[in-house]
Amino acid sequence: MPLPARILVVGSGGREHALVKACLASPGRPRVIAAPGNGGIALEAPCFPVAADDVPGIVALAQREKIDFVIVGPEVPLSIGLVDALLAAGIPAYGPKRDGARLEASKIFTKQLLQKYRIPTAPAAIFTEVPPALAYLRTRPVPIVVKADGLAAGKGVIVAQTAAEAETAVRDMLEGGIFGESGRRVLIEDCLFGEETSIHLIVSGSDYLLLPIAQDHKRAGDNDTGPNTGGMGTYSPAEVVTPDLLARIDREICRPSVDAIAAEGIDFRGTLFIGLMLTTEGPQVLEYNTRFGDPETQVILPRLATDPLALMWAATRGRLSGIKLEVKPDYALCVVVAARGYPGHYPKGESITLPPVLPPETWVFHAGTALDAQGRLVSAGGRVLGICACASSLRAASDRAYSVCAGLKFASKYFRNDIGARQLNRK
Ligand code: AMP
Ligand code: GLY
């Protein structure tokens, strides 16, 4: 099955930079473009100023550039039917159609699916009105988790430590409308305890491949303190997932999830990213995402010996069963370099100086960067760069990544100093 020769990557984050780099490294040397891309992607591939959620604009761009494969990075375009529109125009695209994207775009849809197919997940109830929600809260222990149903850019989940905090979250969502339509329905879910881990599957109908396991650090500050973020750093493999546990996750979570989705009549072709809590009673599903994680992708793709483009293409064409996944034994670690203040307010437009030389097996993935009018690299978002290194040990990968973090310059540079610490300290 020949690989596509002209590829469009949709999105503008570190994940998309990693996808662009992986496609550029594919043996057939395809032409790769991005929309809208970012400052770092633009140094490697033509970027077109079309927003990721401009569905007609992306379809028109793909037609104009004679693209034969579109890879959609973020969840919003998936949830509004970008892949449906591309397929209708005859353009193969990686990522679920709108029906599959609901698994991320509606936490209630997913909870009902998990319950229907008895896939392990926290007990939860659904509310649209405040009084019954508050009555339910009084019957549950704290901490308790309040979730807006729809997409909320990672902000729609409140892990409330007290009943008062939970009540505020319920009122903010149902009465205050802080998440707009996304929060018109809420899920109140028991709190799970344990370590979180990210499972990525490349899915094609009933077939799937399990990608290397990663762990993300979600809190902004060292020692997992401070506000929740999109992710401040990742590492892979995650050794908390032993081979036995992985077999259990596959048996109890992955296979049943893929089968449940297919049984619902969804022909899912794309990434299913399962957020798991490893509880003392076993692995439980926190959420599904229907795209690659960011910054999980930055540590997963560099560890693949199999061409990631071949995987995504095979999944899209329904040919995944013929592919064998090969993973490098190396450890990978990614440190997110953010602008101080993220995930709250932070400065933009600061000029960035990258180190002139990088250690071996090290990559600078750009997230919130842009090229200014003079073509100079400037910051343009909260998470600015992802510094990823591979090595034969996690410690060596960490040393390499942090040496680059120390050497790069911009005024509000901020990063966590303890990415990977959980695993490094366990030994
Ligand atoms: P979600 O978007 O549903 O994964 O939630 C975002 C984050 O909130 C997760 O990564 C967890 O850290 C936390 N979270 C979500 N649901 C629960 C839960 N039931 N118990 C504990 N933490 C949770
Ligand atoms: N790093 C978590 C996410 O991509 O949702």
Model confidence pLDDT, tens digit, residues 388-417: 999 999 999 999 999 999 999 999 999 999
Q: What CATH architecture applies to the domain 195-426?
A: 2-Layer Sandwich (3.30)
Q: For ligand 1, is residue 192 a contact (CB within 6 Å)?
A: yes
Q: Which helix (H) or strand (E) holds 272?
A: strand 269-279
Query: Does 216 contact ligand 1 (Cβ within 6 A)?
Result: no
Separation of CA 218 and ligand 2 centre (Å)? 8
Spacing, Cα 4 to ligand 2 middle (Å): 28
Q: Is 191 in the pocket of ligand 1 (CB under 6 A)?
A: yes
pLDDT of residue 249: 98
Closest ligand to Cα 13? 2
Give me ligand 1 centre to Cα 299, in Å.
21
Q: How far is the CA of 50 from the centre of ligand 1 (A)?
A: 32
Residue of minimum CA distance from atom 5 in ligand 2: 293
- Predicted local confidence at residue 174, as pLDDT: 83
Share above pLDDT 90 across residues of the chain, in percent, rounded to a whole number = 88
Report which bound ligand comes closest to the CA of 289. Answer: 2
Q: Where in the chain is the domain with CATH 3.40.50.20?
A: 6-98
Whether the CB-CB separation of 329 and 303 falls below 8 Å is answered with no
- Could you tell me the two tokens for 379? 């910051």
Average pLDDT, integer, range 342-358: 95
pLDDT for the residue numbered 121: 97
pLDDT of residue 148: 87
> So what's the pLDDT on residue 118?
97
At 107, list the tokens. Answer: 């936490």
Which of 104, 107, 145, 187, when mutated, tests ligand 1's pocket best, judged by the most ligand atoms within 8 Å of its CB? 145
pLDDT for 1: 74
- Pocket probe for ligand 2: among 107, 216, 274, the residue whose CB has the most ligand atoms within 8 Å is 216
CATH class for the region spanning 6-98: alpha beta
| Whole-number pLDDT of residue 129 | 85
Maximum distance among all Cα pairs of the chain, rounded to whole angstroms: 60
pTM, entire model: 0.96
Beta bridge partners of 354: none
Ligand 2 centre distance from Cα of residue 63 (Å): 30
| Ligand 1 and 169: CB distance under 6 A | no
Please tell me the least confidently modeled range out of 5-14, 67-76, 122-131: 122-131
The answer to whether the beta carbons of residues 238 and 278 sit under 8 Å apart is no
On average, the pLDDT of the chain sits at: 95
- Give the angle 308-252-199 at the CA atoms, nearest 5°: 30
Mean pLDDT, range 74-102, rounded to an integer: 98
For 147-193, write each residue's pLDDT tens digit.
988 888 777 888 989 999 999 889 888 887 787 777 789 999 999 99
Q: How far apart are CA 32 and CA 8, in angstroms?
A: 6
Assign 206 to helix, strand or coil: coil
CA–centroid distance, 154 to ligand 2, in Å, is 8
Two tokens, residue 159: 């892990």
Q: What would the pLDDT profile of 15-55 be if each residue is shown by its tens digit?
A: 999 999 999 999 999 999 999 999 999 999 999 999 999 99
Strands 31-36 and 6-11: parallel
pLDDT of residue 427: 60
CA of 294 to the centre of ligand 2 (A): 5
The number of the ligand nearest the C-alpha atom of 228 reads: 1
Q: What is the mean pLDDT of residues 257-280?
A: 97
Ligand showing the shortest atom-to-Cα distance for residue 161: 1
Is there a contact between 202 and 300 (Cβ–Cβ < 8 Å)?
Answer: no
Per residue in 286-338, pLDDT tens?
Answer: 999 999 999 999 999 999 999 999 999 999 999 999 899 999 999 999 999 99
Q: Would the pLDDT of 146 be above 70?
A: yes
Alpha carbon 194 to its chain centroid, in Å, reads: 20
Residues 79/104, Cβ–Cβ less than 8 Å: yes
Residue nearest to atom 2 of ligand 2 (CA): 293
pLDDT at 351 over 80: yes
**For residue 14, what are the CA distances in angstroms to 11, 20, 62, 398?**
9, 10, 22, 18
Residue among 392, 394, 385 at smallest CA distance from 333:
394
Give 286 Cα–ligand 1 centroid separation in angstroms: 6
* Cβ(166)–Cβ(137) below 8 Å: yes
CATH of 129-184, one of 3.30.420.10, 3.30.1490.20, 3.30.70.590, 2.50.20.10: 3.30.1490.20
**Which residues fall within 8 angstroms of residue 388, CB to CB, at 6 or more apart?**
18, 298, 299, 302, 332, 333, 334, 335, 362, 363, 364, 365, 401
For the chain, percent of residues with pLDDT exceeding 70: 100
